[in-house]
DNA sequence: TCTGGGGTCCTAGGACCC
DNA sequence: TCTGGGGTCCTAGGACCC
């Protein structure tokens, strides 16, 4: 059996932990630059504020209903996540951290009543961290997702824990769930399914495998089998990321190459630091820039460049050089840039990798980077930086930022990068 | 005035090989 | 009337997730 544990309205719940006066009140958390709504308390959901809603369109409604508004505080949320995950890891040796607020546990070999086991986890996390969670338990991962949805939808009846452990419960659950609400069925697939009169989960499981494979690829077929109760989606316990990205929408539009370049350099520095943290080297680097996509008065321009590196590296100095080269090639004059990003891909382990006959990463950089990371970690991530980085003079719009209650103050600054 | 950020996996088609 | 067959690797783009 697998459990899927999910924190309820995670970001909003994090804010509530440190400000209990928000309990029973509508709370929303906004994306960077206070742009979109990215988390809502149940009360806010009831007011009809949709996920991803542009904040400026809902200002009047926020005002009218006295909605508590927060800027995104990732230093806080990621630290709270770490704590929740750490507690949950006590309930199984096999934990897949699926996202900042969700994890799967493999419950094989747990002899206790699983409903009680789930309730125990819930109480434990709430008592120690103050975050409410919901738990779905079932014979496969996708069914655990369905069970979790039921636990959330009927909190009183289920105590926020629902177990699918019989064939009749599985059928009942699949008759209940709409096909578009199934994990792995997005808008596109839902449309295809509606077109052939498939609306409920159970109808999806009755489709021929050939149809599913043809129209929804192997991913869809694995999902279908998984929902039938045949485990077809494996646990993924790997801790290393396969790509690392830093992308930002700017607080204003940049017209000069130097401004755009400085931001790209800083993004590369952040990516490189994360890359070193997981002891990987990367073989490719992608840079993209784009103009304001919602502006009708100017034509939208977006371009990207993927650079295949001559050698694998995690040196900030080397990666920055390639990133500058890339941004130079895609930057066009007389445009106003609103967003840019850097993505590192194609990783190898720093412990064993193929060296090149002719070119290799400068061996001196390894120690330099180690020293830099150590200093920046201890004294704040801006202490040692490249001259070509931005000077931190730009300011992200964060009018409603809470404190980094559980971490150092300088990590707030890191978020603003 | 104002619309986020960070991931994973799969596939078709091109380029190349013998 | 008519021009082979069998592969691999890479990449861009699509679809999905939170």
A241 touches strand C (CB under 7 A): no
Q: Which nucleotide has the shortest C1'-to-CA distance from A345?
A: B7
* CB crowding A141-165: b at 16 or more within 10 Å, else e: bbbbbbbbbbbbeeeeebbbbbbbe
Measured from the CB, is A96 under 7 Å from any atom of strand C?
no
Residue A354: CB less than 7 A from any atom in strand C: no
Q: How far is the CA of A139 from the C1' of B9 (A)?
A: 23
In contact, A118 and A137? CB cutoff 8 Å: yes
CA of A190 to C1' of B6 (A): 24
Dihedral, CA of residue A341, residue A344, residue A345 and residue A348, to nearest 10: -170
Give CA separation, A381 vs A131, A349, A408, in Å.
29, 24, 11
Report pLDDT for A357. Answer: 77
User: What's residue A410's pLDDT?
Assistant: 47
Category of A174 on φ-ψ map: left (φ > 0), alpha (ψ -120 to 50) or beta: alpha
Q: Is the shortest CB-to-strand distance from A186 to strand C under 7 Å? A: yes
- The two tokens of residue A299 are 């034509």
What Å value separates CA A96 and C1' B8?
A: 14
A210 CA, B6 C1': Å apart: 33
Q: Using DSSP, state whether A261 is helix, strand or coil.
A: helix
C1' of C5 to CA of A58 (Å) = 63
Count, residues in chain A: 417
Q: Which nucleotide is nearest to A236 (CA to C1')?
A: B8
Q: Strand C closer than 7 Å to the CB of A98?
A: yes
Q: How far is CA A408 from the centre of its chain?
A: 22
Q: Which nucleotides of B are covered by protein (CB under 7 A)?
A: 1-11
Query: Quick check: A101 CB within 7 A of strand C?
Result: yes
Residue A415 confidence (pLDDT): 47
Q: What is the pLDDT of residue A156?
A: 96
Mean pLDDT by 10 residues, chain A (417 residues): 98 96 96 94 96 94 96 94 97 97 97 98 98 98 98 97 98 98 96 96 97 94 97 94 94 93 95 96 93 87 90 95 93 93 93 82 94 90 84 79 76 46
Report the footprint of strand B: residues with C-beta closer than 7 angstroms: A 31-33, 35-36, 38, 52, 54, 56, 99, 217-219, 236, 241-249, 252, 274, 292, 294, 338-339, 341
Q: Which nucleotides of C are covered by protein (CB under 7 A)?
A: 11-12, 14-18
Predicted pLDDT at A411: 46
Residue A67: what pLDDT? 96
Which pLDDT score, from 0 to 100, does residue A395 have?
A: 74
* pLDDT at residue A390, rounded to an integer: 80
pLDDT, tens only, A360-370: 899 999 999 99
């Amino acid at each position: 059996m697998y459990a899927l544990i999910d924190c309820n309205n995670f970001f909003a719940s994090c804010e509530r932990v440190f400000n209990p006066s928000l309990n029973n009140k509508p709370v929303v958390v906004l994306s960077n630059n206070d742009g979109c709504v990215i988390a809502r308390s149940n009360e806010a959901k009831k007011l009809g504020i949709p996920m991803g809603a542009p904040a400026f369109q809902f200002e009047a409604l926020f005002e009218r209903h006295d909605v508590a508004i927060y800027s995104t505080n990732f230093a806080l949320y990621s630290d709270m996540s770490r704590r929740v995950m750490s507690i949950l890891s006590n309930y199984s040796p096999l934990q897949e951290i699926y996202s900042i607020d969700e994890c799967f546990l493999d419950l094989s070999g747990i002899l206790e009543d699983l409903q009680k086991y789930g309730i125990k986890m819930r109480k434990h996390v709430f008592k120690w961290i103050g975050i409410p969670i919901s738990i779905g338990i079932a014979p496969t991962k996708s069914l655990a997702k369905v069970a979790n949805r039921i636990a959330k939808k009927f909190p009183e009846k289920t105590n926020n824990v629902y177990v699918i452990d019989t064939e009749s419960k599985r059928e009942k659950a699949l008759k209940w769930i709409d096909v578009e609400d199934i994990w792995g069925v997005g808008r596109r697939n839902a449309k295809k399914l509606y077109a052939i009169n498939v609306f409920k989960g159970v109808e999806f499981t009755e489709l021929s495998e050939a149809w599913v494979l043809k129209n929804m690829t192997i991913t869809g077929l694995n999902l279908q089998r998984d929902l039938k109760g045949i485990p077809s989606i494996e646990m993924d316990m790997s801790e290393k990321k396969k790509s690392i990205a830093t992308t930002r929408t700017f607080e204003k539009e940049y017209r000069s190459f130097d401004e755009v370049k400085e931001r790209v350099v800083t993004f590369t520095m952040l990516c490189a630091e994360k890359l070193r943290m997981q002891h990987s080297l990367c073989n490719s680097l992608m840079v993209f820039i784009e103009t304001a996509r919602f502006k009708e008065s100017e034509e939208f321009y977006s371009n990207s460049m993927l650079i295949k590196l001559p050698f694998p590296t995690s040196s900030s100095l080397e990666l920055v050089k390639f990133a500058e080269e890339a941004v130079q090639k895609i930057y066009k004059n007389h445009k106003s840039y609103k967003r840019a990003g850097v993505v590192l891909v194609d990783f190898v382990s720093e412990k064993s990798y193929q060296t090149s006959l002719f070119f290799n990463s400068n061996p001196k950089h390894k120690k330099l980077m180690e020293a830099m990371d150590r200093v920046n970690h201890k004294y704040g991530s801006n202490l040692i930086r490249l001259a070509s980085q931005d000077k931190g003079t730009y300011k992200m719009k964060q009018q409603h930022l809470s404190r980094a209650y559980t971490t150092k103050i300088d990590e707030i600054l890191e978020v603003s990068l």
